[in-house]
Chain A
Amino acid sequence: QVQLQESGPGLVKPSETLSLTCTVSGYSISSGYYWGWIRQPPGQGLEWIGSFYHSGSPYQNTSLKSRVTISVDTSKNQFSLKLSSVTAADTAVYYCAKLSLTLYFDYWGQGTLVTVSS
């Protein structure tokens, strides 16, 4: 059974960089599938941030322009999200997830709330 767990600071100051890590258990990231990040502002809907194939380059939501960096550490079976120059609009619950080979989300982490405030 694949399990994902997000970790990182719950409070980030405006203009700084949000950094989150997703730790995967029950499956090796390097073995396959896509992995990614989704966020959900309080009381709002879901927004895809970006995804990557285990051996490929990440795809990112162009709405976030060049603020997003997704990286992988296969030795720790983790992948990470960095979102730079954050504003209050980036306050959200951030989820990491496993995607199927056809790109729907079949396993989700529990989510972590990140608040952007001074």
Chain B
Amino acid sequence: IQLTQSPSFLSASVGDRVTITCRASQGISSYLAWYQQEPGKAPKLLIYAASTLQSGVPSRFSGSGSGTEFTLTISSLQPEDFATYYCQQFNSYPLTFGGGTKVEI
């Protein structure tokens, strides 16, 4: 299952509302996760099952969607949110990731 993220790059300012889209090549129900990766660090789980916030993740992050189209929204971008974001499907093997969206200042 291929995952296509858009945009690949996004320029934004602190306080902006940001939306990232992930499209699956076939239906994956709600079996989608979102990760945040800061430079030089391992990815960090933000959201699983399309819309469930991982414990400890700020509530400004939210996820929605099902089937083939999903979105990650950051309601008010904070300085620590400038990073690369990846989606991942866990509907079936092989587990696959989207190509990433880099959020820049």
CB–CB B54/A108 < 8 A: no
> Which residue of A48, A62, A100, A110 contacts B42 across the interface (Cβ within 8 Å)?
A110
Q: Scan residues 48-98 of chain B and give those whose CB is less than 8 A from a CB of chain A.
A: 48-49, 54, 86, 88, 90, 93-98
CA distance A84 to B45 in the complex (A): 30
Q: A95 to chain B: which residues have CB within 8 Å?
A: 42-43
Smallest CB–CB gap between B63 and chain A, Å? 12
A45 to B54 alpha-carbon distance, docked (Å): 22
Whether B20 is near chain A, meaning CB under 8 Å from some CB there, is no
List, in ascending order, chain A residues with CB within 8 A of B48's CB. Answer: 100, 102, 104, 106
- Complex Cα distance, B90 from A111, in Å, reads 21
CA gap between A25 and B32 in the complex, in Å: 27
Known contacts A46-B86, A59-B93; is A105 also within 8 Å of B98 by CB? no
A109 within 8 A of B: yes
B22-54 Cβ-contact flags toward A at 8 Å (1 or 0): 000000000101010000011111001100001
**Is the Cβ of B42 less than 8 Å from the Cβ of A106?**
no
- Count of interface residues, chain B, beta-carbon cutoff 8 Å: 22
Give the nearest-CB partner of B35 in chain A: A105
Chain A residues 1 to 55 lying within 8 A of chain B, measured CB to CB, are 45-48, 51
**Set of chain A residues within 8 Å of B33, measured between Cβ atoms:** 104-105
Q: Which of B42, B43, B93, B97 contacts A47 (CB 8 A)?
A: B97
B14 to chain A, nearest CB (A): 26
| Extra pairs beyond A100-B48, A105-B35, A109-B42 (20, CB < 8 Å) | A45-B98, A45-B99, A45-B100, A46-B100, A47-B97, A48-B95, A61-B94, A62-B94, A63-B94, A102-B49, A102-B90, A103-B95, A104-B45, A104-B48, A105-B43, A105-B88, A106-B45, A106-B48, A106-B54, A110-B42
3 residue pairs, one from A and one from B, having the closest CB atoms: A103-B90, A104-B33, A108-B42
